[in-house]
Chain A
């Protein structure tokens, strides 16, 4: 089992709904990330947190709102999404922002917006 746990695994939501994705890591890592993975496209970095402070927001629409209450937990709050937001959302962590050991990814949340 991966050291990064994401819930839920699958989510179907209407465009007017509000939902949240959860990520948890107990690896003692200081940096956490949200990525979007769409079919046949590269992983898109969305947000980066280091010691629970946001360090990067890659021009992500405001309908995606991250929250990092501590170094072990990361949330992605979703509201008024569009069908094109349907994708696999991956959480990852690394020891530090500059990593020599790569990222540890969760299994992702498969999001479908209807």
Chain B
């Protein structure tokens, strides 16, 4: 079993839709979680950083962690074509040496 799994997509949604991106993991020690956005020909950029379980909101983005299910989600409200990118989750047990998922490619259609 892979340590961190993500649906590779591509996920195509119409502009304005609510997008749900998900990661599952197998290591119950993970308690630090990050979401990155990576545009084509660019490096990943940090979107959200959360610790332990619960929700965190930043503008149109909400990160959700369910440690009991080993499942994290990133919700994007009112999605825009500019949100089209690959989204990577990353997680760690001690805040170092984060393990990354393979990424989900999102396409928001105008």
Q: Which residues of A contact B (CB under 8 A)?
A: 2, 4, 40-43, 45, 48, 56, 90, 92, 97-108
Contact = CB atoms under 8 A, between A and B. Distances in A.
A40 B8 contact: yes
- Interface size class for chain B? 20 to 34
Contact of A105 (B44, B49, B97, B101): B44
The B interface is mostly helix, strand or loop, or mixed, namely loop
B8 A107 contact: no
A42 B101 contact: yes
Given A105-B43, A105-B44, A108-B43, A99 B102 contact: no
A40 B44 CA distance: 15
Contacts of B43: 2, 4, 90, 92, 105-108
B96 to A, nearest CB: 5
18 contacts: A2-B43, A2-B45, A4-B43, A40-B8, A40-B102, A42-B4, A42-B100, A43-B44, A43-B90, A43-B100, A97-B96, A99-B95, A100-B95, A102-B36, A102-B49, A103-B98, A104-B46, A107-B43
A97 B92 CA distance: 12
Interface of B: 4, 8, 34, 36, 41-46, 49, 88, 90, 94-103
The A interface is mostly helix, strand or loop, or mixed, namely loop
B46 A107 contact: no
Contact of A45 (B41, B45, B88, B97): B97
A105 B45 contact: yes
Q: Which of A45, A56, A102 is the most central at the interface, judged by chain B CB atoms within 10 Å of its CB?
A: A102
Contacts of B8: 40
Contacts of B98: 103
Contact of A103 (B41, B46, B99): B46
